[in-house]
Amino acid sequence: MKKIRKPDLAVIGAGPAGLAAALAARKAGLKDILLIDRDFELGGILQQCIHDGFGSMVFKEVLTGPQYAQRFIDEIAGTDIEIMLSTMVLDLRADRLITAVNSRDGMVEIQPKSLVLAMGCRERSRHQIMIPGFRPAGVITAGAAQRDINIDGIMPGRKLVILGSGDIGLIMARRFTLEGAQVEGVYELMDHPGGLTRNVVQCLNDFDIPLHLSHTVSFIHGRRRVSGVTVAAVDESLKTIPSTERFVPCDTLCLSVGLIPENELSKHAGVQLDPVTAGPFVDERMETSVEGVFACGNVVNVFDLVDYVTKSAQSAGLGAAEYVMTGRKREGGIRVEPGRNVKYVVPQFISDPSRDVDFYFRVEHPEKAVTARVIAGAEEVTKKKHRMVRPPEMLQSTASGERLTASGEPSKITVEVIGSDEQA
């Protein structure tokens, strides 16, 4: 083993979150920064997202995934940020000791003064949603299919059923169709689509691909390759209704059934995870429960827009720089509570309420004509009206530190979504 390298900051993962965090820390004046990724190029999952729709907030223009990533990659190229590609982090300890491996250097140990976790998320697989049936070739997750087609230039199937209407599933329905494959339909367990409305319109409606809400796949057929699936409607408790079962011939079942923040390393380091988001508890600087360890992007919770990933990463990068350069220590922490029709809020804690904070939150169920509010103590800090809110679409509110502390330091902060007429 080589000598332990001790940079000011190490960032694990060079997707949109890692790139932005490293850059933000560099701009804040941090010197020795190391960016580690397991892939052979920077950009993470954005490189396979060749559709557009990225960047409307951060760049005020609409970019493809690779274009969005390239803006950051170009900027990084102009800095002295060190990049370690094709490198897999194998282990992480609470004292920030990273054990990693690559073909060039062999085993490497890195113990940075600060650390940003930016590993993103992974897809849920077939058995996590317990689809019965055989185990043939041809059951694939939508993100893996996207990589096959857009990076490796290979088609995982000809005739598909897609289960799950998350954004990747919707985008892949269109992508498969454009490649000449047949998409029989998209089936969604819930009574509302899992992805953004714009993706339902642009990826399904525009291509006449049917979306079957309140449906699921109840059996996978085929011993060697998928020969078809049984689909069925589900009742209110999401159980299949046997009388509605029908066989759909296909050679591929493509799953878009949710993403899980990739926190195996975080757990090794003893980072406390929020059971609701499956990501670390963080404060407004995206610092986790372990001192000097920050987290951002989809490792914290699965964001819907890359722009939010970037913003959360900028907070984390700044936080890490500040931690190293000023020795800022976190004190106390005000709990941020999800109020009415709010499933969760990130950050979950506020360490310093005198700063401006971006709150990201999701509703529990769809609702029309609502107001989203941030309340500090008894004071309303922000309020924003929405015509319609849906669980897949993340809500965001920026609260100024001035307002948060208008009546002194609040004992708790609540984020709630209320009917516009219920408003106090």
Partner 1 sequence: MDMHDGNELPATAAVVIIGAGISGCSIAREVVKHTPDVVILEKETDVADATTKANNAEVHSGIGEKYGTLKQKLNVRGNLLYDSFVEGLGIPLKRQGLMIVITPRTLPENYTRWLPKRTVAWLLRKVVPRLILRNGRKKGIPGLRALTAEEIFTMEPHVTKNAVAGVFDPTYGLVSPYKLTIALAENCVLNGARVFLSTEVTGIKVQNGKVTGVVTDRGEIAAPIVVNAAGVFADEIAEMAGAGGFKIHPRKGASLLFDRDITADYVRSSVAEFRMFRKGSSKGGGAMPTAEGNLQLGPTAIETDDKHDTSISAEEIQEIFDRFYYLLPDFPRSAMISAFSGIRAPTEDEDFIIGASEAVAGFVNVAGIQSPGLAAAPAIAEMVIGILQGLGVPREERADYDPVRPAPPKFSELSNEERDRLIERDPRYGHVICRCEQITEGEVVDAIHSVIPARTMDAVKRRTRVGMGRCQGGFCGYRAAEILAREWGIPVTEVTKDGDGSWVFAGETKSFEVAEDSAVPGGDES
Which residues in 303-342 contact partner 1 (CB under 8 A)? none
Give all strands of the β-sheet with 98-102 in edge-to-edge order: 88-92, 98-102, 106-110
Is 208 exposed, middle or buried, given 0-12, 13-18 or 19+ CB atoms closer than 10 A?
Answer: exposed
104 binds partner 1 (CB under 8 A): yes
d(CA 295, CA 118): 6
Cα dihedral 255, 261, 267, 269 sign: positive
Alpha helices in 294-346, H assignment, sequence order: 306-326
Residue of the chain from 44, 53, 120, 143 that contacts partner 1 (CB under 8 A): 143
Beta strands in 228-324, from DSSP E residues, in sequence order: 228-233, 246-249, 252-255, 259-261, 293-295
d(CA 163, CA 200): 14
Residue of the chain from 47, 114, 141, 199 that contacts partner 1 (CB under 8 A): 141
Token pair of 391 as six digits: 């669980």
Alpha helices in 179-233, H assignment, sequence order: 197-199
101 binds partner 1 (CB under 8 A): yes
Phi and psi dihedrals of 264, rounded to 5?
Answer: -60, -45
Which residues in 191-230 contact partner 1 (CB under 8 A)? 207-210, 218-220, 223-225
Residue of the chain from 31, 77, 135, 197 that contacts partner 1 (CB under 8 A): 135
Per-residue binding string, partner 1, 33-52, x by CB under 8 A, is -----x--------------
Range in contact with partner 1 (rule: CB under 8 A) among 56-64, 151-159, 282-290, 342-350: 151-159
At 24, the amino acid letter reads A
Range in contact with partner 1 (rule: CB under 8 A) among 24-32, 77-85, 96-104, 347-355: 96-104
Cβ-contact 379, 393 below 8 angstroms: no
64 binds partner 1 (CB under 8 A): no
Q: Please list the residues that pair with 216 across neighbouring strands.
A: 232
Count of beta carbons in the 10 Å neighbourhood of residue 349: 18
Query: In terms of Cα–Cα distance, which of 17, 40, 45 is closest to 308?
Result: 17
d(CA 320, CA 169): 35
144 binds partner 1 (CB under 8 A): yes
CB 20, min distance to partner 1, A: 23
343 binds partner 1 (CB under 8 A): no
Residue of the chain from 31, 198, 267, 368 that contacts partner 1 (CB under 8 A): 267
Residue of the chain from 179, 191, 235, 380 that contacts partner 1 (CB under 8 A): 179
Residue of the chain from 8, 37, 123, 287 that contacts partner 1 (CB under 8 A): 123
120 binds partner 1 (CB under 8 A): no
CB 84, min distance to partner 1, A: 12
CB 286, min distance to partner 1, A: 23
The binding site for partner 1 (CB under 8 A) comprises: 1, 38, 86, 88, 90, 99, 101-107, 122-123, 125-128, 130, 132-137, 140-141, 143-144, 147-149, 152-159, 177, 179-185, 207-210, 218-220, 223-225, 240, 248-249, 251-252, 264, 267
